[in-house]
Amino acid sequence: MTRVDVSTAELAERAHRAREAVLAMGATEHGTHVGGSLSAVDMLTVLYGAVLRLRPDDPEWPDRDWFVLSKGHASAALYAVLAEHGYFPPEECHTYGRRHSRLAGHPLRRLPGVEFPTGSLGHGLSLAAGVALAAARTGRSNRAFVLLGDGELQEGSNWEAIMSAAQLGLDNLTALVDRNGWQISGRTEESVGLEPLADRWRHFGWTVVETDGHDLDALRAVLGALPATPGRPTVVLAKTVKGRGVPIFEDRKKSHYVKLTPRLHERALAGLRARRRNQT
Residue 92's SS3 state is helix
Sign of the torsion angle spanned by Cα atoms 126, 130, 131, 135: positive
Pairing of strands 186-187, 182-183: antiparallel
pLDDT > 70 in the chain, percent: 99
Residue 241 CA neighbour count, 13 Å, CB half: 12
Within 13 Å and on the Cβ side, how many CA atoms surround 229?
Answer: 14
d(CA 158, CA 156): 5
pLDDT (tens digit per residue) in 113-162: 999 999 889 999 999 999 999 999 999 999 999 999 999 999 999 999 99
At 17-69, the pLDDT tens digits run 999 999 999 999 999 999 999 999 999 999 999 999 999 999 999 999 999 99
- Global pTM reads 0.97
* C-alpha–C-alpha distance, residues 117 and 102, integer Å: 12
Q: Are 136 and 170 in contact (CB under 8 A)?
A: yes
Contact 125, 70 (CB under 8 A): yes
CA 45 from chain center: how many Å? 9
Contact 148, 182 (CB under 8 A): no
**In the chain, what is the straight-line distance between the N-terminal and C-terminal CA atoms, in Å?**
29
Q: What is the mean pLDDT of the chain?
A: 96
Q: What is the mean pLDDT of residues 197-222?
A: 98
Determine the angle formed by the axes of helices 34-46 and 8-26, rounding to 10 degrees.
150
pLDDT of residue 5: 81
Task: For residue 2, name the pLDDT band (cuts at 50, 70, 90).
Answer: very low
